Amino acid sequence: MTAQSAAPHRVAIVGGGFGGLYATRELSRSAGVEVTLVDRRNFHLFQPLLYQVATGALAPGEIAQPLRSIFRKRLNVTVLLGEAEAIDVGARRIVLSDGGPIDYDTLIVATGAQFSYFGHDDWARFAPGLKSIDDATDIRRRILIAFEAAEREADPERRAEWMTFVVVGGGPTGVELAGALGEIANDTLKRDFRAINPGDARILLVEAMDRVLPTYPEDRSASARRQLERLGVTVRTTTPVVAIDDRSVEVKVGETVERIPARTVLWAAGVRVSGFAHAVAEATGAPTDKACRLIVGPDLAVPGHPEILVIGDAAVEPWKEGRPVPGVAQGAIQGGRYAGKTILRRLRGEPTPPFMYRDLGDVAVIGRLAGVTNIPWLGRFGRTGGFIAWLLWLGIHISYLIGFANRIVVTVRWAWSFFTHGRSSRLITGQPLLPPIEEPEPPA
């Protein structure tokens, strides 16, 4: 009886989004591995539905699930609330912002991405992006406050400023936000006010490229545009933003600059990785693209560091013909599963095949009963629009939601909203009274 079991292989996973979640799941079934999952938040967030929180259709808790409760029965998984800040590549150790060190044998970086203001970080306070629950409740507050302020504003010009909403960025988030705004103005709030008609709201979707949904086929972009216009959204492509302040957006039209007075500007453009991924890139000398994403090898490892895997939006992962994996939930989910499997294969001494992304396609919803899909493996049947797209979207999102109670509750909410044309989560929390961008922040 001299056989002795080896010490378990320690895996540190930074980030509890789709990538980190699915990597942890994959590893949590193996006794030979000990996983430490670190996140700044105590919950996994179902980001594809975040815009529904921002527009009052769902409540924050309905699209989030505590990481601890997801993994409570997996005793080889430790969940830590903390922010990874630094890495010592030689010692194989990461350091949290409060000093706590975590030693690893393999590290999975799954820190995701934030929106980038293209060097204009001062725009952030006028035009919040939509990445976290707090962003979503902040944006919800701004949208609802704008209608409240318009209701109380007698001056027609200032009222029009409150009634103008600009969404910057024509990717899926921007399209879904603009569609939801169109629905709010024309349907949800229709009868709620006395002095204003919410249907008079001007909603603009501004995109620097020549079409919305630029990663979709061209005919899907055209379909999305038509459906947005049907909801009263003005779509302006080839229109880059050059300035934002608390009362307006300036865009470039050809050679001239046009000022659009608007009190509510929402940002859904650009991508930038977060701090810890930067630290990893610096410490390993890994190549990055211009959004600072780490360029990884076919096994998702940092070149020269097989013990550091990068997945999801923090990485540029090779796919077929050198095209990178798109920055969508499926990319992170498949990357997470692959990373987990790779670690287990290595421990068993098996060869590891390269990462193969399977493009399951994209679905975007546009307001009520409408949307577009682009599902390549369904051939021409994968290119739908309107009601069919909306139904597909519904089914996919409910089936991927974590937590069975959330699935029931979200289904009840959606069914309810559908029949009543209502949105049930229209609370203004935080400071309710002052328009949030009226007062400049104190100088730092």
Residues in contact with a copy of itself by CB under 8 A are: 40-43, 59-62, 64, 66, 68-69, 72-73, 75, 78, 80-83, 97-98, 100, 133-134, 137, 144-145, 148, 151-152, 189, 191-194, 403-406, 408-409, 412-413, 416, 420, 422, 424-430, 432-433
CB 59 to a copy of itself: min, Å: 4
CB 196 to a copy of itself: min, Å: 12
Q: How far is 333 from 28, CA to CA, in rounded Å?
A: 15
Local structure of 241: helix, strand or coil: strand
- Please give the DSSP secondary-structure letter assigned to residue 324: B
Considering beta carbons, is residue 131 or 293 the nearer one to a copy of itself?
131
Cβ–Cβ < 8 Å for 115, 242 = no
> Which contacts qualify for 395-400: CB closer than 8 Å, 24 or more apart?
396/363, 397/48, 397/49, 400/46, 400/329
Considering beta carbons, is residue 306 or 435 the nearer one to a copy of itself?
435
Identify residue 3 by its one-letter amino acid code. A
Considering beta carbons, is residue 75 or 257 the nearer one to a copy of itself?
75
Considering beta carbons, is residue 134 or 219 the nearer one to a copy of itself?
134
Local structure of 243: helix, strand or coil: strand
Cβ–Cβ < 8 Å for 106, 63 = no
Considering beta carbons, is residue 33 or 269 the nearer one to a copy of itself?
33
CB 83 to a copy of itself: min, Å: 6
Calculate the CA dihedral of residues 357, 219, 390, 311 and round it to 10 degrees. Answer: 20
Considering beta carbons, is residue 187 or 258 the nearer one to a copy of itself?
187
CB 328 to a copy of itself: min, Å: 24
For residue 186, give Cα distances in angstroms to 190, 198, 254, 318.
6, 7, 32, 43
Question: What burial class does residue 349 get, using C-beta atoms within 10 Å of its C-beta: 0-12 exposed, 13-18 middle, 19+ buried?
Answer: exposed
CA angle at 117 for the pair 95 and 440, rounded to the nearest 5°: 95
Q: What secondary structure does DSSP assign to 37-98, as a single string?
A: EEESSSEEE-GGGHHHHHTTSS-GGGGEEEHHHHTTT-TTEEEEE--EEEEETTTTEEEETT
CB 188 to a copy of itself: min, Å: 9
Tokens of 211: 């079409």
Of 383, 418, 382, 415, nearest in space to 398 by CA: 415
In 191-304, alpha helices (H): 218-230, 275-284
CB 398 to a copy of itself: min, Å: 14
> Which of 62, 176, 183, 317 does the annotation list as catalytic?
176
Strands 362-365 and 315-316: unpaired
CB 55 to a copy of itself: min, Å: 13
CB 354 to a copy of itself: min, Å: 35
Considering beta carbons, is residue 162 or 355 the nearer one to a copy of itself?
162
Q: How far is 281 from 292, CA to CA, in rounded Å?
A: 8
Considering beta carbons, is residue 61 or 214 the nearer one to a copy of itself?
61
Tokens of 7: 């010490």
- The question of whether 83 is a catalytic residue gets the answer no
Name the residues annotated as catalytic.
176
